Amino acid sequence: MLRTEGLNKSFGSLTVTRDVNLTLDRGQRHALIGPNGAGKTTLFNLLTGELKPDRGKVFFGSRDITRDTPDARARAGIARSFQRNNLFDGLTVRENLLTAITLSSGIGHVFWRALGKYSRLYDRAESLAQLVGVTDQLDAPVKSLSYGLERQLEIGLALALDPVVLLLDEPTAGMSPDETANMTTMLNGLPDDLTLLIIEHDMDVLFDIANQVTVLDYGTVLFQGTPDEVRQSEDVRGRYFGAAS
């Protein structure tokens, strides 16, 4: 589905990604973990095209997308969740979803205003809202949302692209325990055929969501396996769980 082959990336003399081979299968819930500075976000940026590798390749299905732009990759089905400031601030939750749907379909982001309330776009916005748990807030301004619901809505905007793979960089960062629980439930309710790659520090969330785990350490893949295998790995326990929170 999405695969890297011998990826290398350096910033000056600092090698941040070393010969990384990562394979995501369709529908996999794949967690990427490792201490701060391990190169997790850099690997995301290499997958989405924000960064180009010095060496190595990225494949999407059988296609070599190493040189493709972030836009082309997004259109092909690789999405990442928008950051907080990518929500359209003056709009309601429904309007944010409608805008993201129309942007992704290329028909112009204000076009939905001219459409009747009963159009398919509105149905789509409502089903996305349901998927990410913001149905009760559809007509609320995004500014009124709690932090947790804002982050859930961002995932709704990313899903408006109808992605095959969704990359989430620390989706529960800064959340209260309740917000984290809601996000976890929401992520577990996403369609089975959607492939997820999640950078996650919270081990409870990780073990609740993931069925495959890759551990990065100084840019190198230290371990790959199921959550149970990660739990049982002395190497991972000693070098990661023992050291970092």
Applying CB under 6 A, the residues found at the interface with ligand ADP are 11, 16, 34, 36-42
CA separation for the pair 190, 209 (Å, rounded):
11
Under rule CB under 5 A, how many of the chain's residues touch Mg ion?
2
Exposed/middle/buried for residue 90 (C-beta within 10 Å: 0-12, 13-18, 19+): exposed
- What burial letters (b/e) apply to 157-168, b meaning 16+ CB within 10 Å? bbbbbebbbbbb
Task: Select 121 or 199, whichever has its Cβ closest to ligand ADP.
Answer: 199
Give which of ligand ADP, Mg ion, none residue 214 binds (C-beta under 5 to 8 Å, depending on kind): none
Give which of Mg ion, ligand ADP, none residue 171 binds (C-beta under 5 to 8 Å, depending on kind): none
Provide the strand spans (E) within 134-194: 165-169
Binding mask 14-43 for Mg ion (x = CB under 5 A): --------------------------xx--
Task: Select 12 or 106, whichever has its Cβ closest to ligand ADP.
Answer: 12
Q: Which amino acid is at 240?
A: Y
- What burial letters (b/e) apply to 41-64, b meaning 16+ CB within 10 Å? bbbbbbbbbebebeebebebeeee
Q: How far is the CB of 42 from ligand ADP (least distance, A)?
A: 3
Task: Select 110 or 173, whichever has its Cβ closest to Mg ion.
Answer: 173
Q: How far is the CB of 108 from ligand ADP (least distance, A)?
A: 33
Give which of ligand ADP, Mg ion, none residue 147 binds (C-beta under 5 to 8 Å, depending on kind): none
Task: Select 41 or 146, whichever has its Cβ closest to Mg ion.
Answer: 41
Binding region for Mg ion (CB under 5 A): 40-41
